[in-house]
Chains A and B, each alone.
Chain A
């Protein structure tokens, strides 16, 4: 049983005006895998005067360190990916119409009839659809493949963007009652949480904060970040799908993954990682001791940066914790403010209790 330290009583996260401003800055910015600059800059602005060390590596990961007090602190890597799924323009058809491809996994049925922003200047554009009046019933049964869709910037738009530019949905964050509604909640919620953890870092550990890139296209940034950091423990923080909608015929929904309002989701196993059981127990014990609601993320396909982290060098015991969110990888997702704050509380409280005994094995 790990020796528990006292949780610093000063950290009580809330979602007030300032917090929402930072979160919406993160969600509304564009950071498609391979071009995460906008997000990176926001993080740098938030943390440069706080981190003990900060640098950008060759993939674009932002690696920030907040050292603990004491001689030999446990080195804990916490990773949150900055990138989002989005689009890249690949061909100029002329007159402001561009052919494009998807970066990362997006269901093509989510694309039609949406507003987008293109390039560093966030040029407004639209992805239209052939008028329904001109379609045949057969056509309407087929999903339009991405190759047939176009981003339309308006006539003359060809001078405002070029092939190679990234684009993303134009959604702006909105609060709907108890719910945050925005694009890229996967994973700006994680980025936001990591920023808050660095700002309120517990003193018993060396917090190695990895704001990673290119998670959505193969966990690329996390791999090299973990190699560089060479941590004792790895934790990936993300947002994970909640499929907690009603079944059409009223049957029980047995494949919900997570539930909104269920609290932070702790991973036992996903498509990329079998979590280290000691770390799972540690998180659950913390949640219970601190009275924080929690849930297991159903074992199911999917992956997080932990998938890359745990396989680096000689291996790193790893686990993931995510904020449940509906409708990921679409124009707008939803997450509960309560789940977000409880996730942050859990992470902070758990990190504050850590010492090297966590890695003792009950052999």
Chain B
């Protein structure tokens, strides 16, 4: 099966996979990774791990690539007159919610049903004065499934998850917009890397880990390295791209290159090695100054058990945590290539160079 980036990315962007409930997207990823790896397995909480063995003599060192596959979304907290009250799973920006198309994954009936629905804003006269006239807090919004209250009661229960329903859209300039490009763009990049590695010879073992529950606390990031026990780890996540609503100091252009994280969460020796690889293979990068923590799986991976040297690559993305996140396809391909080249070139004694000085 030839791996095609855009259809694969769009397929991932069209299925749910909320933090804690990642199975739908995990199955899509597993189908793509199966022919590209030697062994697929699951962690205790459902992370997908793909092992591609290297050719070096045993015991071989292991490089881990961590890309979180979970999505942010909503969860039903109460049912009122057929309308659903909800809370968030991960950091959902309530400002984007009014009018947003969603899917309620209703589990109460005989079979699980996916109900298309809308997030809606009640008019002011139905809200308490403290709701104010600005953007409404999540607790005042409702979800309307279009079904009559009796039918809602039969199908939906408290705790059911709600995912964003907007379909991915290709925009000008080889960009793509959709929900959950954070972090499925990185999963796609890791898949590009796997595809390139399939045709290469490399000494190290590689484990690509589609982690779970990053959006609710880097859960997979903390737990999975304990299972994988890598010698080094590469985390791929998204970063803020310049554009409307970008903050003044953000100057990563979509399509302009890959920010490399520089800060306490990253091992400087790994940073320098990755930077050198990027130079050698003419992959444009930015230095991303991150004084303390990175807010990605690197936060967990770095302090697993005895600690693991981590480096972090990111993909510039506009409108993070909205259903219209946008990335440049080129950046996904670059990230994949950078990782593949880095891993291909890893000598067996590479860890001797990972020192503090």
Contacts and interface: CB of A to CB of B under 8 A. Distances in A.
Nearest to B241: A131
Interface in A127-171: 127-134, 140-144, 148-150, 152-157, 159-160, 169-171
Interface residues of A, number: 61
B93 A149 contact: no
Interface residues of B, number: 65
B244 A114 contact: no
A225 interface: no
Contacts of B24: none
Interface stretch (B129-137, B225-233, B271-279): B129-137
Given A154-B173, A155-B175, A113 B144 contact: no
A334 B324 CA distance: 23
Contacts of A134: 240, 245-247, 250
Given A114-B99, A152-B244, A245-B122, A178 B324 contact: no
A336 to B, nearest CB: 9
B83 interface: yes
Given A134-B250, A140-B135, A128 B172 contact: no
Contacts of B247: 130, 134
A246 interface: yes
A176 B145 contact: yes
Contacts, number: 204
A109 B171 contact: no
A255 B124 CA distance: 10
A72 interface: no
A334 B244 contact: no
Interface of A is mostly: loop
B109 interface: no
Contacts of B240: 131, 133-134
B171 A140 contact: no
Contact of B146 (A112, A171, A176): A176
A127 B324 contact: yes
A177 interface: yes
A97 B295 CA distance: 29
B322 interface: yes
Contacts of A128: 243-245, 318-319, 322, 324, 326
Contact of A141 (B135, B172, B321): B135
B284 interface: no
Given A126-B177, A130-B247, A141-B132, 9 more contacts: A110-B99, A124-B170, A130-B245, A131-B240, A131-B321, A144-B95, A174-B116, A334-B118, A334-B146
Interface of A: 96-97, 107, 109-110, 112-115, 123-134, 140-144, 148-150, 152-157, 159-160, 169-171, 174, 176-179, 181, 243, 245-249, 253, 255, 261, 326-327, 330-332, 334
